[in-house]
Amino acid sequence: MADLIHKKRGLTSFQIIILGFAGVILVGALLLMLPISTKSGIITPFNEALFTSTSAVCVTGLVVQDTATYWSTFGQSVILVLIQIGGLGVITVAASIALLSGRKISLMQRSTMQEAIAAPKVGGIVRLTYFVLKVTFLLELLGALVMMPTFINDFGTNGIWMSFFHSISAFCNAGFDVMGTEEAKFASITSYLGNSVINVTIMLLIVIGGIGFLTWEDICANKFHIKHYRMQSKVILITSALLILLPALFFFFVDFADMPMKERVLGSLFQSITPRTAGFNTANLTAMSGAGQAIIIVLMLIGGSPGSTAGGMKTTTFAVLIATAFSTFRRKEDTQIFKRRVDNSVVRNAVTILMMYVILFFVGAIVISVAERLPFGTCLYETASAIGTVGLTLGITPQLGILSQCVLMALMFFGRVGGLTLIYAALSKTGKKLSKLPQERITVG
Residue 229 resides in a domain = yes
Spatial distance between the Cα atoms of 384 and 357, rounded to a whole number of angstroms: 9
87 pLDDT above the threshold of 80 = yes
CA angle at residue 280 from 66 to 288, to 5 degrees?
A: 105
Residue 66 resides in a domain = yes
pLDDT of residue 117: 61
The DSSP element (H or E) to which 157 belongs, if any, is none
Residue 68, phi-psi category: left (phi > 0), alpha (psi -120 to 50), beta (remainder):
alpha
pLDDT of residue 2: 46
Work out the mean pLDDT of the chain and round it to a whole number: 86
Mean pLDDT of the region 145-153: 96
Domain count within the chain: 1
Of the ranges 45-54, 89-98, 174-183, 273-282, the best mean pLDDT one: 45-54
Per-residue confidence at 345, pLDDT binned at 50, 70, 90? confident
Residue 239 resides in a domain = yes
Domain that includes residue 35, residue range:
2-425
Residue 435 resides in a domain = no
Residue 436 resides in a domain = no
Residue 433 resides in a domain = no
Spatial distance between the Cα atoms of 262 and 250, rounded to a whole number of angstroms: 16
Mean pLDDT of the region 215-239: 88
Q: What is the 3-state secondary structure (H, E, C) of 106-139?
A: CHHHHHHHHHHCCCCCCCCHHHHHHHHHHHHHHH
pLDDT of residue 361: 92
pLDDT of residue 225: 85
Selection from 248, 254, 237 nearest residue 270 by Cα: 248
130 pLDDT above the threshold of 50 = yes
DSSP string for 202-268: HHHHHHHHHS-HHHHHHHHHHTT-GGGS-HHHHHHHHHHHHHHHHHHHHHHHTTTTTS-HHHHHHHH
Q: What single letter denotes the amino acid at residue 352?
A: T
Query: 38 pairs with which residues across the strands?
Result: 71
pLDDT of residue 72: 96
Residue 432 resides in a domain = no
Per-residue confidence at 331, pLDDT binned at 50, 70, 90? confident
Strands (DSSP E) found in 57-121: none
Per-residue confidence at 98, pLDDT binned at 50, 70, 90? low
Q: What single letter denotes the amino acid at residue 243?
A: L
pLDDT of residue 8: 43
Q: Do residues 335 and 320 make contact, with C-beta atoms less than 8 angstroms apart?
A: yes
Query: 340 pairs with which residues across the strands?
Result: 337
Least trusted range by pLDDT, from 72-81, 85-94, 362-371: 85-94
Is the model more confident about 120 or about 73? 73
Per-residue confidence at 310, pLDDT binned at 50, 70, 90? confident
Mean pLDDT of the region 278-302: 91
Selection from 36, 34, 78 nearest residue 57 by Cα: 78
Mean pLDDT of the region 63-86: 94
Q: What single letter denotes the amino acid at residue 193?
A: L
Per-residue confidence at 63, pLDDT binned at 50, 70, 90? very high
Using the CB atoms, write b or e for 204-237: b if 16+ within 10 Å. Answer: bbbbbbbbbbbbbbbeeeeeeeeeebeebbbbbb
Residue 419 resides in a domain = yes
pLDDT of residue 422: 63
How much is the pTM?
Answer: 0.88
Residues 6+ apart with CB under 8 A from 335: 320, 323, 324, 327, 341, 342, 344, 346, 347
The pairing of beta strand 340-342 with beta strand 335-337: antiparallel
